[in-house]
């Protein structure tokens, strides 16, 4: 069939009346649909004038199917579920810490309705949103008071601005770090209007370096945990205890940016040196800061804990309004903290801690399970899945090379890079590592109930290639 004549194209309102279009009106809305119909008709007119419209279905029903497909593609949500087989537990680009069920449910509850965010249920009077978490943080860290903001970067800014605006903050040159995504300590100091006073050298800083920098304009001493890099060899650094003693001697507040928030020692290799904010508080740090979505295993948040008077000052800083945590994250954070208050179950109930504490035996068992499922498929023969021991990077803690078990394979039907792309764009999306031209699936981050889904995604990707 050829369509020499533009008049043979159906009118917009005729296409709109087809059952196909009627069905999708509640999904995409009249306006978007009409705009898409117009665009499609324009394209068809061009095909007709170029005389390349052979075999194109220009019936109203045919066009309505094309419109449905166009809208489904154009309005596809950008965010989708990802199955993480990279082995990187705290993967910032994949949303860092997955939350515990209790925390996710609380966020869901808060999202879809009203909650007593800033009202005291007893009195009906206005209260602070911080009341939902302050007590739990104080119990957990044994601190006088606490407050929370959007993330640890915001926490650092508001703390420096409140405690040390226009004053010198003494910091070791070895701690002037960048933590990805434009968090650079010197720049953070700058936006906080604190004057950075660097001491020591990249690899060696001693307590006397700090002491000789103390002067009338010193506002604070800060320790920043160098969570994402390590200096080996000839190094010396000052402990938080020494810093706190120096602060006490001169009456200068000490800030500890602990970063990852390891509340208690982790039951896995490689995390021995994570600073413990409970310890900093016990030693007498004025303020300690850490993220909510690293080793605490909760939502994105910046926890600020320490002395009551400082917390009060921080809360009355005008930046607090800009940095405050929203109701969903606050609800999720409260539940996460409650889980931490039961030390005997916390490492099983918080997914991040649970993944980090998986034993090599359990990882091996999961690897065997995945390997046998990959071998069961008859359509894509030649997947030679092998299991082996490997190491996974730590994501936000990249220095932590954790031993793990992996399954690796390649397919003769498709090259590994293209396959890795196909796995990533599938639904749900499957993220893997690629090493030595093999797809590597790490069992530490692959949940038991995701193994079958991952296998299906792999089969589909290979079959369709
Ligand atoms: C991760 C980290 C930060 C930034 O935390 P966000 O919650 O991502 O803003 C700041 N300081 C240290 C030491 C960190 O490890």
Q: Which helix (H) or strand (E) holds 134?
A: helix 131-141
pLDDT of residue 198: 96
pLDDT of residue 138: 98
Q: Is the CB of 151 under 6 A from ligand 1?
A: yes
Taking the CA atoms of residue 301, residue 278, residue 395 and residue 427 in that order, the dihedral angle to the nearest 10 degrees is -50
pLDDT of residue 228: 74
Q: For residue 178, what is the DSSP state?
A: B
Q: Can you read off the two tokens belonging to residue 296?
A: 């605490």
Q: Is the CB of 380 under 6 A from ligand 1?
A: no
Q: In degrees rounded to 5, what are phi and psi of residue 414?
A: -150, 140
Among protein residues, the one whose CA lies closest to atom 13 of ligand 1: 259
Helices (H), 231-350: 240-250, 277-283, 308-315, 319-323, 327-340, 346-349
Q: Is the CB of 224 under 6 A from ligand 1?
A: yes
pLDDT of residue 1: 44
The span from the CA of 16 to the CA of 13, in Å, is 5
pLDDT of residue 324: 97
Provide the whole-model pTM.
0.93
Beta strands in 237-301 (DSSP E): 254-259, 287-291
pLDDT of residue 2: 47
pLDDT of residue 381: 62
Q: Is the CB of 259 under 6 A from ligand 1?
A: yes
Q: Can you read off the two tokens belonging to residue 114?
A: 């009203």
Q: Is the CB of 225 under 6 A from ligand 1?
A: yes
Beta strands in 33-161 (DSSP E): 82-84, 145-149
Low-confidence ranges of the chain (pLDDT < 50): 1-3
Ligand 1 closest atom vs CA 260: 15
């Amino acid at each position: 069939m050829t369509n020499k004549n533009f008049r043979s194209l159906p009118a917009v309102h005729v296409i709109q009346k087809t059952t196909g279009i009627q069905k999708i009106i509640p999904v995409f809305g009249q306006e978007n649909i009409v705009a898409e119909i117009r665009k499609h008709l324009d394209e068809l007119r061009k095909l007709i004038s170029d005389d390349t419209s052979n075999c194109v279905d220009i019936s109203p029903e045919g066009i309505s199917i094309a419109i449905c497909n166009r809208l489904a593609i154009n309005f596809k949500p950008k965010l989708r579920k990802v199955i993480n087989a990279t082995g990187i537990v705290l993967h910032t680009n994949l949303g860092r810490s997955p939350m515990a069920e209790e925390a996710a449910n609380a966020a869901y509850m808060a999202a879809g309705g009203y909650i007593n965010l800033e009202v005291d249920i007893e009195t009906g009077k206005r209260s602070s949103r911080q009341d939902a978490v302050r007590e739990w943080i104080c119990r957990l860290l044994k601190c006088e008071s606490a407050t929370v903001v959007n993330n640890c970067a915001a926490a650092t800014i508001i703390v420096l601005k409140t405690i040390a605006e226009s004053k010198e903050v003494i910091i070791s040159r070895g701690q002037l770090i960048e933590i990805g995504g434009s968090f650079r300590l010197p720049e953070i100091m700058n936006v906080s209007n604190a004057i950075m006073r660097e001491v020591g050298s990249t690899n060696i800083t001693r307590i006397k370096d700090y002491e000789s920098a103390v002067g009338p304009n010193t506002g604070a001493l800060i320790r920043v945990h160098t969570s994402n890099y390590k200096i080996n060899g000839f190094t010396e650094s000052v402990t938080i205890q020494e810093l706190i003693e120096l602060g006490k001697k001169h009456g200068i507040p000490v800030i500890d940016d602990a970063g990852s928030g390891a509340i208690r020692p982790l039951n896995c290799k490689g995390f021995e040196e994570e600073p413990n904010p409970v310890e900093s508080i016990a030693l007498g740090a004025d303020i300690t800061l850490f993220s909510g979505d690293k080793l605490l295993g909760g939502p994105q948040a910046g926890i600020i804990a320490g002395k009551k008077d400082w917390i009060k000052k921080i809360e009355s800083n005008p930046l607090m309004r800009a940095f405050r945590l929203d109701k969903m994250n606050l609800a999720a954070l409260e539940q996460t903290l409650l889980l931490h208050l039961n030390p005997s179950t916390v490492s099983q109930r918080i997914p991040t801690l649970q993944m980090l504490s998986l034993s090599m035996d359990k990882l091996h068992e999961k690897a065997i399970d995945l390997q046998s499922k990959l071998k069961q498929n008859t359509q894509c023969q030649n997947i030679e899945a092998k299991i082996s021991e490997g190491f996974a990077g730590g994501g936000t803690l990249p220095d932590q090379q954790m031993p793990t078990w992996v399954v690796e394979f390649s397919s003769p039907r498709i090259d590994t890079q293209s396959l890795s792309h196909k796995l990533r764009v599938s639904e749900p999306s499957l993220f893997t590592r690629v090493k030595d031209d093999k797809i590597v699936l790490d069992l530490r981050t692959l949940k038991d109930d995701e193994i079958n889904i991952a296998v299906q995604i792999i089969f589909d990707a290979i079959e369709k290639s």
